[in-house]
Amino acid sequence: MSAELLSLFTATFVTFFVLIDSLGVAPMFATLTARGDAAYRRRMAFKSMFVAAVIIFAFAFGGAWLMDAMHISIDAFRAAGGVLLFLIALDMVFEKRTERREHRTEEHLGQHETDPEPDDVSVFPLGIPMIAGPGSIATAMFYMSDADNWMEKGVILSAIGLNLLLTLVIFLAAGPLVRMLGASVAGALTRILGVVLAALSIQLLIDGIKGAFNLG
């Protein structure tokens, strides 16, 4: 793999690792699936990952067509993506994103606490929006639309796929992992990843503005 492709893989992997925030989602997965047995938790982990993969890859492949149809330039999309990712980064740093996830989890559990069987949480809220959220979808569209050839697209898809596989492994080990890390460590990791995402988003915004106005 050339240095450029390795750099592209690293940038894509880090961006999606921060966006999906599998370590931050793991406690929500453990809470949502606590009423079921081990087979139920495995089923929810695999199914939620399948749903998220279908959504992310669908937008990744259809993003270029959608942008052409709406007459959106790649530089405009890059700048808009930078703004969106920066807002997500702020939420992560100040733990607003975690609060919303916890609220969504509590709300879902409250609606289904009287159900005799554990509810299917793989599509909502796990698949969407906890894994395949607006940030992940928009970033997949951007990276694939910005790729020059199928080699670069393959690298991008590999980085996304590896992130989803890593998230699946974390989900399968969610119970012991949450007990080992604790809420404070998971919160600290989310904040650190938020700072990394903020830096990446600012760079995207700068690149988008430069490209749109031919500044360099």
Q: Model-level pTM greater than 0.85?
A: no
Cα–Cα distance for residue pair 86/197, rounded to 1 Å = 7
* pLDDT at residue number 98: 67
**Assigned domain for 50 exists:** yes
**Assigned domain for 115 exists:** no
Q: What percent of the chain has pLDDT over 90?
A: 42
* pLDDT at residue number 60: 94
Domain hosting 151: range is 8-110+120-212
- Residue 131, token pair as written in the block: 């894994």
Q: How confident is residue 112, by pLDDT bands cut at 50, 70 and 90?
A: low
What value, to the nearest 5°, has the Cα angle with vertex 57 and ends 54 and 62? 115
Given a cut of 90, whether residue 216 has pLDDT beyond it is no
Between 29 and 113, name the one with better pLDDT. Answer: 29
* pLDDT at residue number 4: 93
**Assigned domain for 1 exists:** no
Question: What average pLDDT score do residues 154-177 get?
Answer: 94
Question: What average pLDDT score do residues 140-160 get?
Answer: 94
Helical spans, DSSP H, in the chain = 3-20, 22-32, 38-69, 74-93, 96-112, 134-146, 150-172, 174-212
- Residue 190, token pair as written in the block: 């989310």
Q: What is the DSSP string of 140-180?
A: HHHHHHH--SHHHHHHHHHHHHHHHHHHHHHHHTHHHHHHH
CATH of the domain at 185: 1.20.1250
Given a cut of 80, whether residue 182 has pLDDT beyond it is no
Question: What average pLDDT score do residues 58-79 get?
Answer: 88
Q: Are 67 and 77 in contact (CB under 8 A)?
A: yes
**Assigned domain for 197 exists:** yes
Q: Are 30 and 111 in contact (CB under 8 A)?
A: no
**Assigned domain for 72 exists:** yes
152 Cβ contact partners less than 8 Å away, ≥ 6 residues apart: 5, 8
**Assigned domain for 166 exists:** yes
What domain count does the chain have? 1
**Assigned domain for 24 exists:** yes
pLDDT for 120-134, tens place per residue?
A: 889 988 999 889 988
**Assigned domain for 3 exists:** no
